[in-house]
Amino acid sequence: MEVKFNNLNNTDSFKKLASLPVPDIKKIITPERVSSFSIKAGNGIDYNYSAKCADTSVLEALQMLSDEQQAIAKYKKVLSGEIMNKGEKRMVLHHYTRGAFGIDGREVKERGDFYKTEIKRVYDFADKIHRGVIKGSTGAKFDTAVQIGIGGSDLGPRALYIALKGYMASEGRTPFLYCDFISNVDPDDAADVINRINPESTLFILVSKSGTTQETLANSYLVKNLVKKFSPVTDISRHMIAVTSKESPMASSPDFLDSFYIDDFIGGRYSSTSAVGGVALSLAFGGEVFQDLLDGAHESDMKALENDITKNASLLDAMLGIYERNILGHTAEAVLPYSQALSRFPAHLQQLMMESNGKSVSVNGDRLSYPTCPVIFGEPGTNGQHSFYQQLHQGTDIVPLKFIGFRRSQQLLDAQYEGSSCQKKLNANLAAQITAFAQGQNDENPNKYFAGGRPSDLIAGERLTPRSLGSLLAHYENRTMFQGFIWNINSFDQEGVQLGKKLAGKVLGGNSGNSVLDAYSALLA
C-alpha cells in the first residue's frame, strides 16, 4: 500500500474536527465514563481518557483524521523497514530491538539478527561481570557502572535505571552493580561522580553512536585523568567499554575492554531498548530484567497496530494531543507521574517528544502553518502539587495533564498513618487532582474559585515493574511517532542541534578565554 504525505491543514477530517462544538468537560464527565473511556494497553496498564475534552463526535473525527493521515499504514512502513526518516534517508528500526520485525511487510532480517546478537552479547558480558569472571585492573570485583553519554545516551537509560532500582530492592535483591551517569561537559559533573565512586571497582560505559560526541569524548578524557590522579588504577582500558556504531572511530579500539554495537537506524532518543540502555541496565539488574522490559515494550508495539483509536492507547493519546494543540490551542503538556521511581521519566519524555516533533517543516520540505509539539515538562506528584500546580489550577492558560499512577507501591514498604497507608494517600491525591482539574469549584471568593474544565489523562498500572515500564516507554515512543505522522513531519532527525555545534566549534577554534561574554561578542563581530 502506497502512503501519501499531506499536511494536517489540507485534510478534510481536520476541517471537520475544527467545525465541531468543543465539549464541556464539566458537563460530560460521569462515573460511567471512567470505566467506558478506558483502553487496556497491556502489561496491566489502562489508558484512561475520561477526563479529556472529547465526546463521540470528536472521537469520530479523530478516527477519520488518523485514517486520512494513514497513521497505522505508516507505522507498518516503519516496521517493514521503509525509509521513513526521509531527510536522512534512513530506516527507523528501534521497534526491532524488542522483537517487532516486518509486520505486514518485508522484514529487514539482517538488522533484526544484528540487534538480537548484540543484546545477547551484552547479557553474556554482564553475566561475566556479575560472576567476577572479569575483574578490575587491581583485582577488585566490579560493583559500579558509570555511563558517560549525553542526550539519548543519558536521559532514557538514566530514567529507566532510577525507575527500576527500587523494584530490585523489593525483590529482596540489590542491584548487581550501582549505576551513575556523567553527561554534561561542565567538568563539575564528572568531578562530582568521581568524588563518590571507587574507580578500582568501577566500569565506565562510553556511549556515542558516532564516536565523535564532543561532550562524551571530553568527559572520557577528563575521567581518565581524574582516575589516574586519585586512584591506583593505571590501566583504565580494563575499566572502560564502548557502545557505538561499527563505523565509528571508537569501534574496536584498544582503549576498551569490549565494545557493543548499534547502528544508524536507531535515533538517540529511541535507543533506550538497544545496547545504549541495555548495557547499563543489564549490568545493574541482569539480562533477564532487561529482557522483561523489552517484552513489555514489544507487547505495546503490537497493540499499537490496531486501527480503531478507541482500542489503541498510544494512537488515541496521540490524536487527543493533536486536538488539544491544533484545535484547542494549548501550548504545553505536563507529565505527572505519581511514582517517585519515575522522577526522571518526564525529562526523558521531554527529549523524546520535543526533539522528535519540535519542527516547522513538513517531510515534503514546506514550512508548516500550524503548531507542532507543545512544551513538555513535569515532576512527580505529589511533589508538584506543592509547586507549580497552583498555576495549573488557577493560571490563565490551560495545560493538558498526563498523569501516571500505580495501585501498589514499588518497594512494598509502607505504614498506616491516620487510618491510611502512604500509597493510599498518594492515589487519593491523584484521584482528587483529576477530579479537581475537571470539575473545578464555584466560590464567591474569587481567590477560591476554580474554573475547572482542565483536561487530563491517566495511565493506571498495577505496579511499576520491568514489563510495565517497557510498556510505558513504548506507549510514549509510539504516541510521538503517530503525532509526527499526523503533523506530517519527520520525527526521526534533529537538524536543529547543528547550528549551535558549528558556532561552538568556531569559538573553540578562536582565541577567546573562558568568558562567555567575550566568546559571544566575538561570534557577533
Give 328 or 523: the residue with its C-beta nearer to a second copy.
Answer: 523
Instruction: State yes or no: is 330 an active-site residue.
Output: no
**Closest approach of a second copy to the CB of residue 381, in Å:** 8
The grid cell for 208 is: 556515542
Give 106 or 506: the residue with its C-beta nearer to a second copy.
Answer: 506
Catalytic residue among 52, 355, 359, 475: 355
Give 192 or 308: the residue with its C-beta nearer to a second copy.
Answer: 192
Instruction: State yes or no: is 355 an active-site residue.
Output: yes
**Closest approach of a second copy to the CB of residue 265, in Å:** 19
**Closest approach of a second copy to the CB of residue 355, in Å:** 4
The grid cell for 51 is: 477526563
* Cβ atoms of residues 190 and 224 within 8 Å: no
Give 63 or 219: the residue with its C-beta nearer to a second copy.
Answer: 219
Give 97 or 339: the residue with its C-beta nearer to a second copy.
Answer: 339
Short-list 401, 408, 414, 452, CA closest to 427: 408
What's the alpha-carbon Rg for the chain, to the nearest Å? 24
**Closest approach of a second copy to the CB of residue 179, in Å:** 14
Catalytic residue among 4, 109, 501, 506: 501
What one-character-per-residue DSSP string does 387-425 give? Answer: TTHHHHHHSSS---EEEEEESS-SS----EETTEEHHHH
Those residues whose C-beta lies under 8 Å from the C-beta of residue 298, and which sit 6 or more positions away, are: 98, 99, 100, 470, 474
Catalytic residue among 27, 386, 418, 502: 386
Could you tell me where the DSSP H helices lie in 6-100?
12-19, 25-28, 31-36, 56-68, 71-79
- Cβ atoms < 10 Å from Cβ of 124: 12
In whole angstroms, what is the distance from residue 336 CA to residue 384 CA? 8
In whole angstroms, what is the distance from residue 482 CA to residue 71 CA? 6
Short-list 66, 18, 77, 149, CA closest to 492: 77
The one-letter amino acid at 225: N
Instruction: State yes or no: is 501 an active-site residue.
Output: yes
Give 231 or 411: the residue with its C-beta nearer to a second copy.
Answer: 411
**Closest approach of a second copy to the CB of residue 382, in Å:** 5
- Cβ atoms < 10 Å from Cβ of 352: 25
Instruction: Give catalytic residue positions.
Output: 355, 386, 501
